[in-house]
Chain A
């Protein structure tokens, strides 16, 4: 990072104009490792002592700290700087979690700090509307989670990727007992898959959703009478089952499912109607040889 101070620096006068109230202006450091701005904890706690608050938030608006340095004690409420909007926003968010969740369950978080023992591994879409913690109420420590476009699971043969690294860790090291693949309505990734054309244009999205091309083939065969939206909805569910079958291509997953140490479930969240479907893969009934046709059991639907 450049230091706009030395007189002999030929570029000193050539910096693109930066805002005077840049919160990080005082924290440029020439170290090879860029050290994050750590707000001095003592200054914040001095201000808040009267509230008997034990919030040890080491994060505050950097602009606020500069003002403290100028010996002007101002309350947090008085500090308003539009450029720090995002920082204030994130700060408030974390403090809300800290107060309502973290400090409210000290023993639980102390245990969690030592070890995590989640029972679930969840594979969900990165879509902002479908966080598994929000819609299914997973608490800290309960679900080891992967989120990617269209909640896809590539096959074992497709080579190393972030999905199978996470599968390896959760199944073999954490030894989770359940894998849950959650799909959802209006999925952009599935829409891209269904609308994809073989026009020679490449993009990451295309390369990625191609992992589910079998689901597209099956959908076009089974639901050709539906309009495009209908086909996409159908494909969202077919793709979940396709991912479940792909899970079984991993030998260590298959072994555990056979021994009934691991269960594989599919889930579908429809946020238009607010409903949730869940089903479990029936390993005994599944015939992988027949074009990957799976058998399911314990299907439930809540709305």
Chain B
């Protein structure tokens, strides 16, 4: 872990120095040269460059000896089939793996990960990727809970909040995807107008989870299972800056109807 930490520290320093070069255009030549030299020095001082193949070998070996071989009954059962209780939507961000932060063991959670943990509304013409996962989780796996987890410092939400107002060139694909979260952005801009951009992003990270939960409900099989009380929709938020986790339930209430009579003697309505 020490090597990884050292490398991460130097990578962080490199990123911050690069940001400095980008943002502070008025730096004079001497300073710019010095910064460039520092970056090169930092890049060169990794004690052992990470060999991807070796990293994967080590990771798999650890898993095999410490987990798989120690739980033969579990893995024999899992080899025959999976019956996870959870379906989880999480962001692709490398810092928010649900298995790590919520300690899900193999077999416990059917996990879908995409940019900004977005769930689009039911649309038979598009988004078959997400649709297929929901269809499979509900009809084949019969999961009992769907949990959508947002997180702090989400790059996807940040992009949603800043584009196109910042005048940047659109991405080929990213913008098309994150714009599914527009209802969340609209709500936040209205409710929290005048707030700091970073704070608005935080609110949007939360609101986007709610937007995704509402969208989940538009899938007919999700609606059916909710009505039959077989399925719960949950929202989550992992704040890795403060080491906190928020958790809430999505609920929809349908009251019984009241009857408005056809005829009434009381004309004072």
Interface residues of A (CB under 8 A from B): 1-2, 10-11, 14-16, 24, 32-34, 36-38, 56-59, 86-87, 90-91, 93-94, 96-98, 101-103, 105, 107-109, 111-120, 126-149, 152, 160-170, 172-173, 177-178, 180, 185-186, 188-189, 202-205, 207-209, 263, 265, 267, 271-272, 274, 276, 278, 280, 298, 300, 302
Which chain A residues lie closer than 8 Å to B258 at the CB level?
10-11, 14
Complex Cα gap A79–B111 (Å): 30
Q: Does B145 contact A (CB under 8 A)?
A: yes
Known: A11-B255, A86-B232, A165-B178. A209 touches B101 (CB 8 A): no
Q: Does B36 contact A (CB under 8 A)?
A: no
Q: Which of B11, B109, B115, B251 contacts A166, CB < 8 Å? A: B115
Q: Which of B9, B53, B62, B132 contacts A149, CB < 8 Å? A: B132
Q: Does B113 contact A (CB under 8 A)?
A: yes
Tell me whether B237 and A298 are in contact (CB under 8 A).
Answer: no
Which chain A residues lie closer than 8 Å to B247 at the CB level?
36-37, 59, 87, 90-91
Tell me whether A38 and B99 are in contact (CB under 8 A).
Answer: no
Tell me whether B173 and A161 are in contact (CB under 8 A).
Answer: yes
The interface-forming segment of B26-34, B37-45, B87-95, B194-202 is B87-95
Tell me whether B110 and A127 are in contact (CB under 8 A).
Answer: yes
Q: Which 9 A-B pairs have the closest CB atoms?
A: A137-B59, A204-B131, A165-B177, A208-B132, A207-B128, A36-B248, A160-B176, A128-B84, A118-B94
Known: A129-B106, A204-B135. A109 touches B191 (CB 8 A): no
Least Cβ–Cβ distance between B177 and chain A, in angstroms: 4
Complex Cα gap A193–B67 (Å): 31
- Nearest A residue to B213 via CB reads A34
Complex Cα gap A111–B240 (Å): 11
Tell me whether A111 and B241 are in contact (CB under 8 A).
Answer: no
Q: Add 15 more A-B contacts to A133-B99, A162-B177 (CB < 8 A).
A: A11-B256, A14-B256, A14-B257, A34-B248, A56-B244, A86-B234, A94-B103, A117-B11, A131-B106, A135-B60, A139-B4, A145-B94, A162-B114, A164-B172, A165-B178
Least Cβ–Cβ distance between A144 and chain B, in angstroms: 5
Complex Cα gap A147–B92 (Å): 8
Q: Flag B165-191 by CB within 8 Å of A: 1 or 0 each.
A: 000000111101110000000011001
Least Cβ–Cβ distance between B172 and chain A, in angstroms: 6
Max count, chain A CB within 10 A of own CB: residue among B63, B95, B132, B135: B132
Interface residues of B (CB under 8 A from A): 1, 4-5, 8-9, 11-12, 15-16, 50, 52-53, 55-64, 67-69, 75, 78-79, 81-82, 84, 92-115, 118, 124, 127-136, 140, 145, 147, 152-153, 155-156, 171-174, 176-178, 187-188, 191, 203, 206-207, 210, 232, 234-237, 240-249, 251, 253-258
Number of interchain pairs (Cβ within 8 Å): 309
Tell me whether B207 and A33 are in contact (CB under 8 A).
Answer: yes
Tell me whether B92 and A204 are in contact (CB under 8 A).
Answer: no
Complex Cα gap A158–B113 (Å): 20
Which chain A residues lie closer than 8 Å to B246 at the CB level?
36-38, 58-59
Complex Cα gap A113–B145 (Å): 29
Least Cβ–Cβ distance between B151 and chain A, in angstroms: 11
Tell me whether B105 and A113 are in contact (CB under 8 A).
Answer: no
- Nearest A residue to B132 via CB reads A208
Known: A33-B191, A165-B115, A272-B79. A141 touches B52 (CB 8 A): no
Q: Which of B95, B102, B124, B153 contacts A97, CB < 8 Å? A: B102
- Nearest A residue to B78 via CB reads A129
Tell me whether A149 and B133 are in contact (CB under 8 A).
Answer: yes
Known: A112-B240, A113-B240, A298-B53. A208 touches B248 (CB 8 A): no
Known: A108-B5, A109-B243, A127-B82. A160 touches B173 (CB 8 A): yes
Complex Cα gap A149–B242 (Å): 33
Q: Which of A59, A148, A265 contacts B52, CB < 8 Å? A: A265
Tell me whether B97 and A140 are in contact (CB under 8 A).
Answer: yes
Q: Which of A38, A115, A166, A178 contacts B12, CB < 8 Å? A: A115
Complex Cα gap A91–B129 (Å): 30
Complex Cα gap A119–B111 (Å): 21
27 interchain pairs, CB-CB under 8 A:
A11-B255, A24-B248, A36-B237, A36-B247, A56-B243, A59-B244, A93-B102, A94-B102, A107-B9, A113-B153, A116-B93, A131-B98, A132-B97, A136-B59, A137-B62, A137-B63, A140-B94, A140-B96, A147-B112, A149-B132, A160-B177, A161-B129, A162-B118, A165-B115, A177-B52, A186-B81, A271-B78
